[in-house]
Amino acid sequence: MNKNIDDLKILIDSKTLNDRIKSLADEINAIYPKDETITIICVLKGAVMFFTSLAKYLKMPVKMEFISLSSYGNSTKSNGKVKSINLALPSFEGERVLVVEDIIDTGLTLTFLMNFISQNCKAKDVKLAVLFDKKCARKYDIKPDFCAFEIDDKFIAGFGLDYCGLYRNLDYIGYFEE
Ligand code: 5GP
């Protein structure tokens, strides 16, 4: 059945999102040396809003990189395959890297990506920050270093996350009731 914006119930409002992202940035600022550069990698497209919000609150010198990956297509369930669209990254030899992703669901996408970065980019440290963790849906053994919210196994959209390409621009997170 097609869903539209009237079916989207608010799960997390804009202020709650922003307050939590700011406090997550404080957690990140506390872990990294404040004068050492980190490269933050935005996993497009879903992480775009989280990435730009988080970046504003980081206090150390920051470089930005962008990659594209997808696994859901137009479905609301993972199809079990990672579709790589653009994984072109520079070498991060001796540098610190923080991967910024919208959500971990089964863990397939991030297991693939974290392995790819560890094997190809020679960084001295690779960590992972996610906006959402659907822990109960996990099929791969991966844990984020930083997570803003743990959520139940429901399909969410808004604030970067889409449904059929839509709703990424919303400043809140909504969910579709089954
Ligand atoms: P995984 O590989 O962990 O199963 O799925 C991760 C990817 O699936 C995320 O990067 C995101 O693109 C997509 N995804 C997982 N759960 C949701 C959801 O509730 N809503 C949306 N819009 N995408 C999701």
CA 162 / ligand 1 centre spacing (Å): 9
Nearest to 102 by CA among 144, 161, 158: 161
Centre of ligand 1 to C-alpha 35, Å, is 34
**Count of structural domains within the chain:** 1
Condensed to tens digits (0 to 9), the pLDDT of residues 55-68 reads: 999 999 999 999 99
For the chain, give the mean pLDDT.
91
| DSSP tag of 102 | E
Q: Is the distance from CB of 116 to CB of 123 less than 8 angstroms?
A: no
pTM of the predicted model as reported, rounded to 2 decimal places: 0.93
Give the residue among 119, 56, 54, 57 at the shortest CA–CA distance from 92: 119
Is there a domain that residue 163 lies in? Answer: no
CATH number at residue 130: 3.40.50.2020
**Sites in the chain below the pLDDT cut of 70:** 1, 71-80
Q: What is the dihedral of CA 84, 89, 93, 98, to 10 degrees?
A: -70
Judge whether 25 lies within some domain.
yes
Range of the domain at 128: 14-154
Residue nearest to atom 15 of ligand 1 (CA): 105
